[in-house]
Amino acid sequence: MSTELQRQQALLQALLSGEPAEGLSAAAHGVKRGLQAYRVNAQAVAARALAAVYAPLYEELGEEQFAAMAWAFWRRQPPVQGDLARWGGGLADFMALQPQVPATLVDQARLLWARHEAEQAADAQLDADSLQWLDGRHEAAALSLRLMPGLCLVERQAGPVLVWRRDWRAVSEHLPVAETLFFHRLLAGLSLGEALDATLAAHPDFDFSAWLQRALREPWLQAVEVI
């Protein structure tokens, strides 16, 4: 291992721990002050990056408590890429491990990240031509529905919440039980026929035609595909 690589690893260890690494203080004059400056800067960056996504949590916890949580999370799961807008997805799981954090805040964090992911998802348009496969001449078991990028179900104590993007902004909504089950099956990769069978077995009144109309309007559906 090169001397430079050892120095960089020692610096990283010191930044994460907040204490000068063994042998590092002798390597350069004033390294302790440098480490303190790096640490203060990292704390500020962590708080700003998370606050951009989790603004309601910031408002609820307050600046000091939120900053402490952000720094603790940074040390546990530091960014692995330069785009800090992609960092923070594990915050809800991190919060869930802290016994003093209410489950309601964990649920809120999960929903906020899902909304952030929806808004960051790739742009996509409905493949209108693919709707021809729903003309009734094709078996549902041979078809699958591709949903829009960023669409997901977020599990919460109060029940699953559907998250998607409408006109560049994230939208979230508790859906009826039958629709939620149908989405669960589609997101699990089941064919249209399998998803319909599972949903209708539990909820015979599920109206696929009504679901499809809304799926095109919201939009939820990107394309119909032949398996």
- On whether both 113 and 187 belong to a single domain, the answer is no
- On whether both 34 and 73 belong to a single domain, the answer is yes
Amino acid code (one letter) for 139: E
- On whether both 113 and 179 belong to a single domain, the answer is no
- On whether both 218 and 167 belong to a single domain, the answer is yes
- On whether both 106 and 132 belong to a single domain, the answer is no
Domain boundary among 120, 151, 172: 120
Number of domains in the chain: 2
- Give the pLDDT of residue 29: 44
Contact yes or no for 66/47 (Cβ under 8 A): yes
Tens-digit pLDDT profile for residues 117-155: 999 999 999 999 999 999 988 899 999 999 999 999 999
Domain boundary among 86, 120, 154: 120
- On whether both 107 and 51 belong to a single domain, the answer is yes
Please classify residue 192 by burial: count the beta carbons closer than 10 Å to its beta carbon, then call 0-12 exposed, 13-18 middle and 19+ buried: buried
**Alpha helices by DSSP H, 62-206:** 63-76, 91-96, 103-120, 177-187, 192-202
Q: What is the pLDDT along the chain (227 residues), one digit of tens a residue?
A: 566 566 555 655 655 555 555 555 555 545 566 667 667 788 899 999 999 999 999 999 999 999 999 999 999 999 887 788 889 999 999 999 999 999 999 999 999 999 999 999 999 999 999 999 999 888 999 999 999 999 999 999 989 999 999 988 999 999 999 999 999 999 999 999 999 999 999 999 999 999 999 999 999 999 999 99
Contact yes or no for 170/163 (Cβ under 8 A): yes
- Give the pLDDT of residue 82: 76
- Give the pLDDT of residue 11: 54
Please give the biggest Cα pair distance in the chain. 78
Domain boundary among 75, 92, 120: 120
- On whether both 201 and 106 belong to a single domain, the answer is no
- On whether both 55 and 105 belong to a single domain, the answer is yes
Helix, strand, coil % over all residues of the chain, rounded to 5: 55, 10, 35
- Give the pLDDT of residue 4: 59
Contact yes or no for 33/59 (Cβ under 8 A): no
Tens-digit pLDDT profile for residues 69-96: 999 999 999 988 778 888 999 999 999 9
- On whether both 90 and 195 belong to a single domain, the answer is no
Angle (CA) 131 132 135, round 5°? 110
- On whether both 12 and 63 belong to a single domain, the answer is yes
- On whether both 108 and 196 belong to a single domain, the answer is no
> Residue 186 is part of which domain span?
128-226
- On whether both 65 and 90 belong to a single domain, the answer is yes
Residue located via tokens 């390294």: 31
